[in-house]
A and B are shown apart, each in its own frame.
Chain A
Amino acid sequence: MAHLAQLRALIDELVAAVTSIPETQHERRDACREYVLRSLRHHTFTRTNQFEVQDRLNGLEERFCVVGRDALGEALRKRLDALEPHRTQTTPEVLHLLLELADQPVQKSKLSD
């Protein structure tokens, strides 16, 4: 885990970007920052399994096609292929984050977005 000062700086940015809590509500902002710091330092999640991430993405691509949203499946495959040359050690973890944040993409995603 990053040096605490570095992590705190990133947490400040994250809280500002995600919550848009006005500066006037500084107590609430501070509470959010502390909550984030605690949650990120003391959690019980295991490390990302890159093969599981790959399986989930393949499954999603397949589901897009099964429900007749082939264009979305193709768009996803095209981006995953384009990402290959840029792959780093943390790419599976970033993709894991995106899978966790995915909000019913099979039903709600629009290609026009």
Chain B
Amino acid sequence: MPPNERAEKQAAAQQAVDILHEIATILNCHLDRRTLSICISMIENGVNPEALANVIKELRKHGQEAQLEAAAAASSRRR
């Protein structure tokens, strides 16, 4: 693919991600641009969107637990 054409395609893809990110914000999805880009790549690679949504919700819970544990460990070290 010629460099110009590649650059144009990349710019169009970026624009699509920007619009999707704005839609995600309107829907209050709590998704940053980087995470959304990863999700789009996963879906383009055949991942089921509903399964992915469930996984993200579960990962958010795991992340919160890990951060609470890390904070508790840090405060017990300070004592």
Contacts and interface: CB of A to CB of B under 8 A. Distances in A.
Interface of A: 1-2, 6-7, 10, 13-15, 17-22, 24-25, 28, 32, 35-36, 39-40, 43, 45, 47-48, 60, 72, 75-76, 79-80, 82-83, 86, 88, 90, 93-105, 108-109, 113
Interface of B: 12-13, 15-16, 19-20, 22-32, 34-35, 38-60, 62-63, 66-67, 69-70
B54 A39 contact: yes
Secondary structure call for the B interface = helix
A58 to B, nearest CB: 14
A109 B50 contact: no
Secondary structure call for the A interface = helix
B40 to A, nearest CB: 6
